[in-house]
Structure 1
Amino acid sequence: MRSVPVLQFGATALVWGASFLFVKIALEGLSFTQVVLWRLVFGAIALVAIALIGRIEIPRDRRVWMHAAALAIMQCIVPWLLFSWAGQQLSSGLASIYNATTPLMTMALSLVYLPGEVLTRYKATGLLLGFGGVMVVLAPWNLGVAGDTSAQLACLGATAAYGVSYVYLRRYLLPLGVGARAVALLQIGIAALLMILTSPLIAWTPMRLTPAVVLSTAALGVLGTGLAFIWSTNVVREWGPAAASTVTYLSPVVGVALGAVILGEKIGWNEPLGALAVIAGILVTRRATQAVTVSTTPPKSVPLRQVPPIH
């Protein structure tokens, strides 16, 4: 039984790292809006099935539903549309590297909007390292040559949306005592409904449904949006949120490796170097967060990583 969390941790890193590969393959037959639509539909089906099997209680508090609707837009629809749009121009590996900046975006926004968050030496160092890593990956010396600057900025916009959603989650929804699986079910369900309602306007183009496109989209929804969230929740329960959040460090490694091996994507020297700087920044900020957690025990505090990210 002790090996179960290890297997779930590895499976989560693999699935979330592969999500950008799935997006890239799905874009061969779907528009970027259709990728998000079907990802949410498959994800909602998986989470509804999990809720029925696990007999998860659905909250009836109107405030929970309102906050979940806001998170459905901020944490699902907006960032996934941005990542899917960027995936039309960027390699899947590069998109996975930018996704790793999520903890840095969250930390920066927490310092501004969450009371009690203080800019310490470690946090400042971590943010600077992460920012430097983003600049190396963005490669400003190649602007106007690579032709994908807007797509890279879209990825950063997506991780900024993740950061806003985590701060919102901590400040408004988690204090209501809602379970992680119930939060995921409401978010994905509401997001799927919104995309279905707007699909006649934004996702009406013809689809080319090859086996690879269908399987990639189904894997993106069922695995990346459904099962991986449950696995990650179990790891949080067994190891704690700090240890479980280190999956963020492995996802870009998996994403870059799969893109290179399966799609033949080329890796520039600046991409792994920038990724290392981003991961170093995350490690430094994580050390600062752990130090604050150990030294202070504020009443009724809610860990920022209590509910894992949905990628």
Structure 2
Amino acid sequence: MIIFNYLLVCLIFGTTFLAIKVGVDASAPPFFSAGLRFFIAGLLLFGWLLWRKKATLALLFRKEMLFTGIGLTFGTFSTLYWAEQYVSSGIAAVLSATGPIMILVLQTFVLRLKATTLSVFGSILGFAGIIILLLPQLAVSANLVWVIGSVAILVGELFYCMGALYSKKVIQQFPEASPIALNAAQMICGGLLLLVLSFFTEHVEVQSLFSPKAAGSLLYLIVIGSMVGHSLFYWLVAKTNPVFPATWLYISPLIALAVGVLFYGETITWVTAVGVVTVIAGTICANLDSLRQLMLRRKTA
């Protein structure tokens, strides 16, 4: 079940980059559409859990939900949505793949946790593959706005990593709460912050959200990207650890690039193919220790 849900998260999150790009290209205000996506998704999920008496309203007013929402939703997606105005969906996915490496660095140097040699090697190898994927695009896309957009995505990934690590602590702090309820609460908080940011920075024309592309993008991101994808991610964090689920960021560039070729007219060169193989090899190495531990737990159980 863990492996199946992990692969499903990889598939879902790999396609969300193009969905965001489609919405942004359709003139949907980035902060407003991001805020609407997460606030509606969180509200629907939390309302469903309230109806089933698996969540309480008091959860929404905990500071832990606000801090998690700042990391996993507000900081991550305010930068990603803004950057995808200037950076392609494939490159956005590639840059997002720095997440597992940042998590390992934070765990090793900030939390003083020991990382295995194989995990470190896998992360370095995966990052090398990301650089190989990135280099051809740098040759044709390098300009000031593109660079700022790329840096913004990296800053967002730092927020994401801190949120993923903090969310593990929150899950342990609220053992009686469903991981889905915790995820819904943080999405509501993060979505509200995005809407506040939009109020002060964007001029929103509501009709722009009703074009077929913008509406389709928003619907897909609310239901599949947020309600399904982020709930599965939170479940994986609860069942494993913050590093293992976050390695979907190594797989998502491959999916995002493939989707871009099939539906958005992007091309793949032989250099990209080398990068793909390197990323897959790095992902296997980075995950091998976690997979062994999971298999041992299953055998013991």
Please confirm whether the aligned pair reaches a TM-score higher than 0.5, indicating the same fold. yes
1:170 CA drift (Å): 2.7
Post-superposition Cα deviations, 1:264-286, rounded to whole Å, max 9, x if no partner, equal 12334444433443443333232
1:24 CA drift (Å): 0.7
Aligned to 2:195: 196
**Cα pair distance change 1:98/1:277, threshold 3 Å:** farther
The question of whether the paired residues in 2 share the 8 Å contact of 1:236 and 1:244 is answered with: yes
Aligned to 1:122: 118
Q: Does 1:256 align with 2:257?
A: yes
Aligned to 2:128: 132
Aligned to 1:41: 39
Aligned to 1:77: 74
The question of whether the paired residues in 1 share the 8 Å contact of 2:35 and 2:193 is answered with: no
The question of whether the paired residues in 2 share the 8 Å contact of 1:75 and 1:162 is answered with: yes
**Cα pair distance change 1:205/1:254, threshold 3 Å:** same
Q: Does 1:20 align with 2:21?
A: no
**Cα pair distance change 1:263/1:294, threshold 3 Å:** closer
Report matched runs for 1:213-252 at 5 Å: 213-231=214-232, 248=249, 250-252=251-253
Q: Which amino acid aligns with 2:67?
A: A
Superposition TM-score, scaled by structure 1 size? 0.77
The question of whether the paired residues in 2 share the 8 Å contact of 1:90 and 1:151 is answered with: yes
The CA distance in 2 between the partners of 1:73 and 1:281, in whole Å, is 29
Q: Which moved more, 1:246-255 or 1:139-148?
A: 139-148
1:38 CA drift (Å): 1.9
The Cα RMSD (Å) is 3.7
Q: Structure 2: 5+ residue runs without aligned partners?
A: none
**Cα pair distance change 1:52/1:137, threshold 3 Å:** same
Q: Which moved more, 1:255-264 or 1:271-280?
A: 271-280
Superposition TM-score, scaled by structure 2 size? 0.79
The question of whether the paired residues in 1 share the 8 Å contact of 2:209 and 2:215 is answered with: no
The question of whether the paired residues in 2 share the 8 Å contact of 1:104 and 1:282 is answered with: no
**Cα pair distance change 1:229/1:119, threshold 3 Å:** closer
Q: Which amino acid aligns with 1:108?
A: V
Structure number with the higher helix fraction is 2
Q: Which amino acid aligns with 1:112?
A: F
1:10 CA drift (Å): 5.7
Q: Which amino acid aligns with 2:163?
A: S
Q: Which amino acid aligns with 1:56?
A: K
Q: Which amino acid aligns with 2:164?
A: Y
1:263 CA drift (Å): 1.2
Aligned to 1:56: 54
The 3-state SS of whatever aligns with 2:62 is helix
The CA distance in 1 between the partners of 2:90 and 2:159, in whole Å, is 20
Q: Which moved more, 1:175-184 or 1:267-276?
A: 267-276
The CA distance in 2 between the partners of 1:54 and 1:214, in whole Å, is 29
